[in-house]
Amino acid sequence: MSITKQKIVASAERLFTDKGYESTSIQDIADDCSIAKGSVYKFFPSKEDIYIEILEERHMTMIEQRERIQENASLSPRERYVEEIEYQLQFFLTHKLFVTNTHRETPAHEHDRIGPYLFQMRARLMNYNRELLVRHYGEELRPLAWDAVIMFTAIAKEYLFLMTASGKPLPVQELAPYIAERMEDLIRGLLQGGVKPMLTDNLMAEIAACSPETLRETALRCKGIVFDRIASTIPDLNVPNSRKRELEQVLELLKQEGQEPQPRRFLLLALLNELAKEHELEPYAIQMRMWVEKLMKA
């Protein structure tokens, strides 16, 4: 992502959080970045596109970190469970836009793109947490899993709101195991009390249809986005033009190899290592390297 584009995204996320989506204009974002309004439109056709870019970036980050936690063999199942809760809490604290959900200040309009996108993200998170709870507490919870998800979400949401809106100084490292313990109390009561579910699979069918993405699925869907970010960053690099042309050729070879039915792992990694030599491109190369390793294992 070019330096200018990075500034636009960072300013937009901050303004959307502080002022609200509807109350923030493209001019506000341009003023905050000290650039002309037309410069914003060079990168984003609309304010909706900026918002969706932010959502995609955060979504990819969340999925990547979840899989790191799940694959950490040094953690016990209980430690992984608590760490996943802690990561979610920290994620939403860091990206307060997702807590305030400021876009929903006005009713959705006919051509609204963000409303359906936000619904899909919320649904995927609920599905993910459903599987997280079933994985930790066992298949016997599955008939009551949707109710457990609502309880888990409500507890976490209210604590997050107190921390973000009211500034309550609650340490996440203590809050995560505390929430895990309270969920154990609740789920023990659900399983031992012969409780009938309030939320059945039929009732939650629309939510259940938005299954959470795996890192592999995210990589296949979003690799084009990362390619575009690298391509838009190369012209802004403080390197000779000959090096820029070389990097553009490396990126093109990477695209071509990635489209092969059986891409060569050694070549993909070599090309990514070449991109990673430039500091500004290194984060994208690291991200794609992890995707390559994941895809090649599948």
Does 102 score more than 50 pLDDT?
no
How many Å apart are CA 246 and CA 249, to the nearest integer? 5
**Chain segment 247-286, per-residue pLDDT in tens:** 999 999 998 888 888 888 889 999 999 999 998 888 888 8
**Chain segment 5-46, per-residue pLDDT in tens:** 888 988 998 898 888 888 899 999 999 999 999 989 888 888
Which of 97, 87, 93 minimizes the C-alpha distance to 10? 97
Per cent of the chain over pLDDT 70 is 89
For residue 80, give the H/E element and its range: helix 77-94
More confident residue, 174 or 121: 174
**Chain segment 108-156, per-residue pLDDT in tens:** 455 677 778 888 888 888 999 999 999 999 999 999 999 999 999 999 9
User: Which pTM value belongs to this model?
Assistant: 0.74
**Chain segment 206-223, per-residue pLDDT in tens:** 999 887 766 667 666 667
How many Å apart are CA 86 and CA 64, to the nearest integer? 15
164-191 burial, b at 16+ Cβ within 10 Å, e below that, comes to: eeeeeeeebeebbbebbeebeeebeebb
How many Å apart are CA 57 and CA 272, to the nearest integer? 20
What pLDDT shows up at residue 236? 82
The residue type of 250 is: V
Which of 88, 143, 59 minimizes the C-alpha distance to 80? 88
Mean pLDDT over all residues of the chain?
85
What pLDDT shows up at residue 100? 55
Going from the C-alpha of 224 to that of each of 174, 279, 289, the distances in angstroms are 39, 21, 14
Cα 65 vs. chain centroid, distance in angstroms? Answer: 9
- According to DSSP H, which parts of 138-281 are helical? 145-165, 172-192, 205-208, 215-233, 241-258, 265-276
What pLDDT shows up at residue 246? 94
Confidence of residue 105 (pLDDT cuts 50, 70, 90): very low
